[in-house]
Amino acid sequence: MLDIYEVGHFETSDSVRLRYYVRGNGPPVLACQGGPANISDTLADALAPLQDAYTLVYHDYRGSGRSAIARTITYTYERIAEDLEELRVHLGYERVGVLAHSMGGFIALNYCLRHPEACAGMVLTGTTPTGNPGKIAVPALRALGPTRTAKALALAAWYVAAWSWRSESKDKHAARYAAVAVTQEGVPAVRSKVKASMAGLPVPNDNVPHLERMFARTDLTDRLHEILCPVLVLYGQRDAIMVAGGQMLMHGLTNARSVCLPQVGHEPFIEDPNAAFPPVREFLSRLQF
C-alpha cells in the first residue's frame, strides 16, 4: 500500500458519511472503481503509476468499505454520481478528469451527463454503457468465441443447479461470478497476478444486491450523444462483454477514441501496464482542467 497524502470523511447532502483519500500530485482525477463487492483500494493500487503526474481521488461508495451504509433506495448509480460531485465540491476542484473501471463506468457516465461543466474528460476502462442482456449478449458471445462460450455456459448452468437456491454467502457469490470471470480472463500467464491483486474480494458491502440488480436495468446508450467532453475508451481484447460495450460506446459518443489491448482481459493496468498506461497518460495530458 502506497502513502496516502490526504484522508478524510465528508457528509453528503442526504447525511451519509463517506470516506475518501487522495494520492499523487497534479491535476485532479476522480476514480470510480468497479464492483459492487469491492472497495476503492483495489483500483488505487492498480493506478499507482499515475500518481507522479495526477492527483487521484478515491472514495468508498455509500454502503461499501469504510463509508457508512445508507437507505437502500439510494443505492443507485445516479446517487453515487451525485456523491462524486459533492466530493469534488468538498475538495474545492473546479474541473476534474474521471477515470472509471468496470461498473464504475455507469457512475462516470451518469456523472458526466449530470455535471458536464465539471468534467474535463473521461477514461472508461473495461466498461459498457448498458447491462441490458438483450443488447449486449449477442455481441459479447461473438467476442468470446465458441470455446470460452461453452465454458461460461457450463458454469452458469452449474450455478443455477447447485447454488441459486442457497442462502447468500461468499462461496455463492464466487459461483455466481464464475461464468462472468471466464468472459473477462486474460491469458494464462497473468491470471495468478490478477488473482493476487484481488485478494480480500468479494467484500460483503451493504449495497451489493441493489447495485447488482441495477446492472441489467441500466442502459445509457441512447444518451451517449449528450456527452461532449473527450473520452478514452480502453479495453482488453479478451474482455468479451466490454469489447461489446466498448464498441457501443464508440458508436454513441461524439468525441471519443478507443484503444483495444491485444491478449488482455478485464484488468489492463494489472495484466499489461506497459501497454495500458501510455494512452491514458497521453489522453489526460490533453485535457483542459
Per-residue pLDDT of the chain (289 residues; tens, 9 = 90+): 345 677 899 999 999 999 999 999 999 999 999 999 999 999 999 999 999 999 999 999 999 999 999 999 999 999 999 999 999 999 999 999 999 999 999 999 999 999 999 999 999 999 999 999 999 999 999 999 999 889 888 888 998 999 889 988 888 878 887 888 888 999 999 999 999 998 888 999 999 999 999 999 999 999 999 999 999 999 999 999 999 999 999 999 999 999 999 999 999 999 999 999 999 999 999 999 9
Q: What is the dihedral of CA 115, 121, 126, 132, to 10 degrees?
A: 40
- For 130, the grid coordinates are 448498458
Contact 16, 67 (CB under 8 A): yes
CATH class of 6-285: alpha beta
Residues in a beta bridge with 101: 125
pLDDT on residue 177: 79
pLDDT on residue 4: 60
- CA gap 81, 32 in Å, rounded: 9
Strand order in the sheet with 28-32: 6-11, 17-24, 55-59, 28-32, 96-101, 119-125, 231-236, 256-261
- CA gap 79, 90 in Å, rounded: 16
| DSSP result, 139-166 | HHHHHH-HHHHHHHHHHHHHHHHHTTTS
- For 59, the grid coordinates are 472514495
| DSSP result, the chain | -PPPSEEEEEE-TTS-EEEEEEEESSSEEEEE---SS--HHHHHHHTGGGGGT-EEEEEPPTTSTTSPP--GGG-SHHHHHHHHHHHHHHHT-SSEEEEEETTHHHHHHHHHHH-TTTEEEEEEES--SB--HHHHHHHHHHHH-HHHHHHHHHHHHHHHHHTTTSPP-HHHHHHHHHHHHHHH---HHHHHHHHHHTTTPSP--TTHHHHHHHHHH-B-GGGGGG--S-EEEEEETT-HHHHHHHHHHHHH-SSEEEEEETT--S-HHHH-HHHHHHHHHHHHHT---
Strands 55-59 and 119-125: what pairing? unpaired
Strands 96-101 and 28-32: what pairing? parallel
pLDDT on residue 2: 47
- CA gap 260, 242 in Å, rounded: 10
pLDDT on residue 178: 84
In our burial notation (b when 16+ CB lie closer than 10 A, e otherwise), range 171-203 reads ebbebbbbbeebbbbbeeebeeebeebeeebbb
- CA gap 4, 183 in Å, rounded: 34
Q: What residue type is assigned to position 130 of the chain?
A: T
